[in-house]
Structure 1
Amino acid sequence: MKYFVKRLFDGKQFKQNQLITVENGKVASLSSSDNDEDVQVIEGILAPAYIDVQVNGGGGALLNNEPSLSTIKTMLKAHQQFGTGSMLPTLITDDIDVMKRTADAVASAIAQGVKGVIGVHFEGPHLSGPRKGIHPLEHIRKITDEEMKIFTRKDLGQVCVTVAPENVSLACIESLVRENVIVSLGHSNASDQQTFDAIEAGATGFTHLFNAMSPLTSRASGVVGAALLDDSAYCGLIVDNEHVSINSCKLAIKCKGPEKIMLVTDAMAHVGSSDTTLPFAGMDITRVGNKLTIEGGTLAGSALDMETAVKNAVNLLGCSIGQALQMATSTPAAFLNMQAQKGAIDIGLDADWVQLDDSLSVTRLFIAGQ
């Protein structure tokens, strides 16, 4: 299968007039061409399919409410229309039974070859009570062997676990990293030193930067300050103009660069659904405009999709199209240690692409070149 692409973003830069050959779902060749062959022409922009490392729900389904293969497929379908080619289904803090059922559902999806499910993100339960957000306090707890057995399963694809560094030991972080688990820091009231120590122990990311974490102040830089100062760590950023101010987003990108900032949705069940009110943990999460809250006004995840996140990065933050696309493709791929498979258009990588028009709206999603 061959395609002629007039404008291609390869994950880092734009290229013009490229001829792509796909074999067995992967890019077999990529070269400049004058389109002298009878091949399908791709108009607009062709970029790597978006990678979302934090997806709680979609299409009216929430992983916590029904941790099943059916739920994961519903979520995936809801987000694919917005250009997401790969995602980590994300479980908000819950009991051990729901965690086990989630792991089993993800394992089933991977075993059955469900395209787009590349792992799982456990956001909790080893978080900070004071910074819990909507995470149920009754399920926030210290880590035990039961959770470790789930996190270190080898049939889950890439596992990411969000922890508060003040609630887990450095030895625990080191153990997770040795098992190839990605440790991200979030929902935390830690000091900057506790945060730096966790990074030294192997943590490599921050979950939804600025939200539910100790802030940068005049005499304490907190988790936010440590995240901005450390050159190695990746940071997820919810660019919906609700979770984080425009200038704070700009500051993060200026400090870290698009090679360390990932656009994430933190999407709830509302994405891809016409429902305005949906349940979670005995609460109603209500959508008003682009904002999701529980009673009292606490933010409750987002109604953001990756198409809108990319557009917002360009239209609200002033990022170049290349920077916005990088933060949705090659940067999350690098965070997940999957840059040899996804997040770029290059020889040997999966032919998962998104086709965009001039307004950055998704016109087509390619999975394995089709």
Structure 2
Amino acid sequence: MGSGTFHVARIFDGEAWHQNAAISIKAGRVTSILPSHEAPEGPRLPGLIAPGYIDLQVNGGGGVLFNNDPTPEGIRAICAAHAGLGTTATMVTLITDRPDVTARAVAAAGVADCPGFLGLHLEGPHLSLAKKGTHDPALIRAMEAADLAAILTAAGQLPHLIVTLAPESATRRQVHALASAGVTVSLGHSDCDHDTARDYIAAGAGMVTHLFNAMSQLGHRAPGLVGAALSLPGLCAGLIADGFHVADAAMLVALRAQPEGIFLVSDAMATVGSDLTGFTLNGRQIFRSAGRLTLADGTLAGADIALADAVRYCHQRLGLDLAAALRLGSAAPAAALGLADRGHLRPGARADLICLDEGLNVTGSWIAGRPAGGTPSGGMRP
């Protein structure tokens, strides 16, 4: 595994800043952050070092959509594309599809062995037709006993598994069974009311998928799923910060209401890290234009960003403190998935780190101390 020392003007360890410091790594783990004059020799990098980004919702990248290539090779291509863009841990996501495609995706995830692969996120098919978004309505259906059994089996085979479902298509008993098996149950694509959301959270759901999008909204007498996400303790929610999915004011309200519970996701599609002008999903054409991905009717169809873009948006457009913005892309998703050794660079952490310039552009990334996505070795050695 990677070992070595980097010197840099600033290091953010996930909680605190270290000025004119050095980070040392041994066997893929952080051993220390020290003032440069006290640390071993090593290359000096421009910009700053921060924990690598962790993205819990990635549908594709590098020209590959997981639905269209549910194979270990597809996973490898997606993770590699995002690693080069600063995402050092990726939950590869399958959008609602046929049962045979879902089975192939689970099988691929069970044997995938590539840097940055964190696990599988099944977004559907057990969703609400009323809040289908870009999901194919012909493929949305209620969870049956066989579906539950298949997911429980998958949970025992995968390092991490997130399942997005709607109360309209799954029972509280099913949610309890999934949560008891270690599945992270996320509520999304749902028109449920606040009380129903609360009941499903009590049954074991602990997450909300792409807050505000494809769900019942916050009304003053009908708080909906958004109201539940913003008011109930112990709940976390992903947020797409691309300037299209959620208005700036709404994002700021969410961040103030749940400062410890919001994390960023990219919801990235195949276009990220590629020059594609469009692609197909479930036989339907997705169009790419001016940073937006849409169906022919204008429905948003995922996002055309990497997580680094969302972090930059929060700092530069929303005005968040840089440390707060960085945590939204690293420490916050790590906490949401229960990852104790990622999302920070304190001693003992996995050496998943990124180098950023002053514009928060990713200039290098390392996974367990090894260069990722074409990053020069920079003094790290096997």
Task: Establish whether residue 95 from structure 1 lines up as the match of residue 65 from structure 2.
Answer: no
SS class of match (2:332): helix
What is the match of residue 144 of structure 1? 144
Task: Establish whether residue 7 from structure 1 lines up as the match of residue 13 from structure 2.
Answer: no
After superposition, residues 241-252 of structure 1 pair within 5 angstroms as 241-252=243-254
After superposition, residues 312-323 of structure 1 pair within 5 angstroms as 312-323=313-324
Deviation at 1:35, TM superposition (A): 4.7
RMSD: 1.4
Deviation at 1:74, TM superposition (A): 1.4
What is the match of residue 108 of structure 1? 111
**Contact 1:269/1:278, CA 8 A, preserved across alignment:** yes
What is the match of residue 288 of structure 1? 289
Distance in 2 between residues matched to 1:273 and 1:38, nearest whole Å? 37
Task: Establish whether residue 71 from structure 1 lines up as the match of residue 78 from structure 2.
Answer: no
Distance in 1 between residues matched to 2:333 and 2:145, nearest whole Å? 29
Distance in 2 between residues matched to 1:149 and 1:213, nearest whole Å? 27
Spell out, residue by residue over 1:221-261, the C-alpha distance to the aligned partner (whole angstroms, 9 max, x if none).
0001111111311111101111111111111111111x311
Distance in 1 between residues matched to 2:32 and 2:39, nearest whole Å? 16
Spell out, residue by residue over 1:279-300, the C-alpha distance to the aligned partner (whole angstroms, 9 max, x if none).
1111110011011101111111
Distance in 1 between residues matched to 2:40 and 2:347, nearest whole Å? 20
**Contact 1:165/1:185, CA 8 A, preserved across alignment:** yes
What is the match of residue 203 of structure 2? 201
What is the match of residue 380 of structure 2? none
Which range moves more in the overlay, 344-353 or 13-22? 13-22
Using structure 2 for the length normalisation, give the TM-score. 0.92
SS class of match (1:12): coil
SS class of match (1:166): helix
Distance in 2 between residues matched to 1:66 and 1:361, nearest whole Å? 29
Q: Which amino acid aligns with 1:138?
A: A
Deviation at 1:36, TM superposition (A): 5.9
Deviation at 1:18, TM superposition (A): 3.3
Q: 2:238 aligns with which of 236, 239, 257?
A: 236
**Contact 1:125/1:141, CA 8 A, preserved across alignment:** yes
SS class of match (1:332): helix
Distance in 2 between residues matched to 1:169 and 1:365, nearest whole Å? 42
Identity of aligned residues (%): 40
Deviation at 1:33, TM superposition (A): 4.4
Which range moves more in the overlay, 205-214 or 223-232? 223-232
SS class of match (1:300): strand
**Contact 2:22/2:39, CA 8 A, preserved across alignment:** no
Counting matched residue pairs gives 365
Kindly tell me: are residues 150 and 9 of structure 1, through their superposed partners in 2, closer, same or farther at Cα, counting changes over 3 Å?
Answer: farther
**Contact 2:5/2:40, CA 8 A, preserved across alignment:** no
Using structure 1 for the length normalisation, give the TM-score. 0.95
Deviation at 1:115, TM superposition (A): 1.1
**Contact 2:148/2:174, CA 8 A, preserved across alignment:** no
Deviation at 1:69, TM superposition (A): 1.1
Distance in 1 between residues matched to 2:145 and 2:199, nearest whole Å? 23
Q: 1:186 aligns with which of 181, 185, 188?
A: 188
Deviation at 1:145, TM superposition (A): 3.2
Distance in 2 between residues matched to 1:88 and 1:151, nearest whole Å? 16
**Contact 1:103/1:150, CA 8 A, preserved across alignment:** no
Distance in 2 between residues matched to 1:333 and 1:31, nearest whole Å? 24
What are structure 1's unaligned runs of at least 5 residues?
Answer: none
Which range moves more in the overlay, 11-20 or 209-218? 11-20
What are structure 2's unaligned runs of at least 5 residues?
Answer: 371-382
Distance in 1 between residues matched to 2:100 and 2:138, nearest whole Å? 14
Deviation at 1:341, TM superposition (A): 2.1
What is the match of residue 215 of structure 1? 217
SS class of match (2:11): strand
Q: Which amino acid aligns with 2:134?
A: I
Distance in 2 between residues matched to 1:54 and 1:364, nearest whole Å? 22
Distance in 1 between residues matched to 2:134 and 2:324, nearest whole Å? 31
**Contact 1:166/1:194, CA 8 A, preserved across alignment:** no
**Contact 1:126/1:142, CA 8 A, preserved across alignment:** yes
**Contact 1:261/1:327, CA 8 A, preserved across alignment:** yes
After superposition, residues 1-370 of structure 1 pair within 5 angstroms as 1-35=4-38, 37-109=40-112, 112=113, 114-152=114-152, 153=154, 154-257=156-259, 259-338=260-339, 340-370=340-370
SS class of match (2:68): coil
Q: Which amino acid aligns with 2:284?
A: M
Spell out, residue by residue over 1:48-99, the C-alpha distance to the aligned partner (whole angstroms, 9 max, x if none).
1100000001111111112111111111122122100001000001121111
Q: Which amino acid aligns with 2:219?
A: T
